[in-house]
Chain A
Amino acid sequence: MSVESTEIHRSQFMRDVMAETPDGERIVHCLQCGSCGGSCPNGPEMTYTPRAIFAMIAANRRDDVLASNTMWCCVSCYFCTARCPQEIPITETMYTLKRMAIREGKATEGDAPALARTFTGFVDKYGRAFELGIATRYLMLNKPMSMLKGMGMGMGMFARGRLSLRPTKIRQTAQLQAIISKARELGKPEKRSGGAS
């Protein structure tokens, strides 16, 4: 590996991940200690633990990382983040990898992108999460069998008044939508000015 003067070598992929993650510059400090994978409730389900993912990011293995199931196993419990001795924002890095995988068409693992799309679609429209609408739409389109299995539970919820048939809507949906459109425009990756300041 050729290292120019004292600058640490960083792969292009690492630079991209760092730029898109608040406090992402901490990533270079990964010690490969494995506290993250060992703390993760879904560590055993992952093809690569977060520790391995950080090594792969450093090694520029973009495709392998983005096609992996690692970030889709993440439940955002923040145990890894709380325990990382190098204060790497690991959970936030998982969000970055989720976004990159979706954007680059590599998100082949599981239904999380579909759930996210359905969920935010309803919030974009109403300003509130309409649970019954989200679950029904998402499950019908992605996991119809799961919907059947959950029918009994759904009836129990409905009987106790815990499911509404109608969405609630905020008054200022136009305002919310204007904010979302503007944010979407400003947040386009090519317009990024490079993360933390």
Chain B
Amino acid sequence: MKYAYYPGCSLEVNSAAYDISVRAVMEKVGLQLDELDDWNCCGATEYFTQDELVATSVIARNLALVDKGHDQLVAPCAACYLNLKKVDKLMCEHKDMNAKINQALAAGGLKYQAGRVRVRHLLDVIYHDVGEAALKAKVVQPLTGLRVAPYYGCQVVRPLNGFDNPEYPMKMDEMFMWLGAEVVDYPVKSHCCGGHMTQLSEDMAFELIRRLLQSADDYKADLILTMCPMCQLNMDAYQGRVNNYFNTNFHLPIVFFTQLLGVALGIDMKKLGFGKELVTAEPVIRAKLEGQTAGAKA
């Protein structure tokens, strides 16, 4: 299987750990990712705040760039995924918008036939196109003993999901059960990390982040798994500031699900982007997994 790949701006630098681990894992499971040539930013929520037709046209340029050799576009970031999928859906359902977006694209010599490209989130691709049996067969390092809290956030599961439950998603939970981890069933797995609110109101944003960390901590998770660069940034990079703000003492590593999946598949941690997180993840993972090996020997 081959897919066009839309990494999105965050994966270039800030969340390079996600990009590195996505590529390593996909190679390991035998799925081919071809990076979309000259892709542009999806605009996050910011163009929609200003001008809807500009927002949708900027996004549609990416859909138009998908060449004939590909009919699926994979996005690892929640905002990119939603934006790409939303624009394709709007173009399919609203003739007027479809016409205007194509008029705008034509100014750049492009056109997009609504519905041609199937936009998918990476979790959907790994869960369904690799599947349980193949993934289990590739496990080299079972994650036994490690308590993981899968965190889905908002925009992958709402509003245009179609592959998981929008309120109580399970696909990442199931995947990590396949890998042998202890999966924490905690109540806020599809609540909001605050997105760009950290830039607008710290009072509001920090409280949203605190709720997530608090809940995962209450349920004694060793780490939180994310599938979005924004969620990772908010919970990881802001964790220290959230601790200062609320006088709390959280110390929860926030890891991209592909990083830990890579560990289970036997990929060297150095090749999975570990060490870029502000709350270090490697020691707890090694301690738990080595504890398991020691336990097995004893």
Contact = CB atoms under 8 A, between A and B. Distances in A.
A172 B58 CA distance: 13
Contacts, number: 205
A135 B9 CA distance: 14
The 8 A-B pairs with the shortest beta carbon distances in the complex, nearest first, are A187-B53, A182-B107, A78-B158, A77-B192, A183-B104, A183-B57, A175-B108, A119-B46
A91 B9 CA distance: 24
Contacts of B199: 111, 115, 135, 138-139
Contacts of B191: 41, 77
B237 A153 contact: yes
A117 B47 CA distance: 8
Contacts of B97: 22
Contact of B41 (A81, A129, A175): A129
Contact of B52 (A95, A120, A128): A95
B49 A187 contact: no
B238 A170 contact: no
Interface in A105-144: 110-113, 115-117, 119-120, 123, 127-129, 131, 135, 138-139
Given A78-B155, A129-B44, A179-B61, A115 B196 contact: yes
A178 B108 contact: yes
A77 B158 contact: yes
A135 B198 CA distance: 11
Contact of A186 (B39, B53, B195): B53
A186 B100 contact: yes
Interface of A: 20, 22, 41-42, 45, 72-73, 75-79, 81-82, 91, 95-96, 98-99, 102, 110-113, 115-117, 119-120, 123, 127-129, 131, 135, 138-139, 146, 149-150, 152-153, 156-157, 160-164, 168, 170-172, 175-176, 178-184, 186-187, 193, 195-197
Contact of A149 (B12, B47, B241): B241
B51 A110 contact: no
B276 A160 contact: yes
Given A75-B197, A180-B54, A183-B51, A41 B40 contact: no
A4 B109 CA distance: 49
Interface in B93-123: 93-97, 100-101, 103-110
Contacts of B276: 160-162
22 contacts: A22-B97, A41-B192, A42-B204, A75-B154, A75-B194, A75-B197, A77-B195, A81-B158, A98-B48, A110-B200, A120-B47, A128-B12, A129-B44, A138-B199, A162-B276, A163-B13, A164-B13, A175-B61, A179-B58, A179-B61, A182-B104, A186-B104
B291 interface: no
B46 A115 contact: yes
Contacts of B277: 160
A130 B206 CA distance: 24
